Amino acid sequence: EAISAQLAQVTLGNPRHESVRMGELRDAWSVAQGSIIGYNALRHTETMEEVWAHIKGFEGIYEVSTLGRIRSLDRPQRVRGNGIKLQKGQIMSQWIQGSYMCCDLRRPGIKQKARVHVVVLEAFVCPRPDGMIACHNNGDPTDNRLCNLRWGTHEENAADKIAHGTHLYGESCPK
């Protein structure tokens, strides 16, 4: 909760987030978390260096990057008979569903559709704070780089849509 409060104080002060700089977010994260891990993840997004982190609930199976890519990791797989072979990891395919990039994550007995922007924020920033949603700073729901994402309220997201011209009011609303 302390992490969420610190990040919210920095990132939510301005509905358009024009004055929020990566340094301010990094400082809030460092103070709240007291961890070099969060600092390094945010620092790397400034230079567009790709950093990978485990996906909660799928540790050792999948990782997500600061550029919004998801990859499976190398793992043993049973083959017919008593054999086992090494299944090579790969970049997972993503698709658009309702404007947002999605990916299927699987583990034994479970198949879960994940929205990539939420996975990126949960892996590199913090778990979803109560009442918050994942917002895209530039209004492009397919741009899932960490530097383009933040936790925000529904009201802030609505204000962003108006500012970006992606809102569905009046003539732009499908009938």
pLDDT in tens, 151-170: 999 899 888 888 877 766 65
The more confident residue out of 91 and 33 is: 91
**pLDDT of 24 strictly over 80:** no
Amino acid at residue number 36 = I
CA distance 130 to 153: 10
109 close to 128: Cβ distance less than 8 angstroms: no
pTM above 0.85, yes or no: no
pLDDT in tens, 96-130: 998 899 999 998 888 999 999 999 999 999 999 99
Q: What are the residues whose beta carbons fall under 8 Å from the beta carbon of 48, sequence distance 6 or more?
A: 67, 145, 147
Q: What is the mean pLDDT of residues 58-83?
A: 91
**pLDDT of 28 strictly over 60:** no
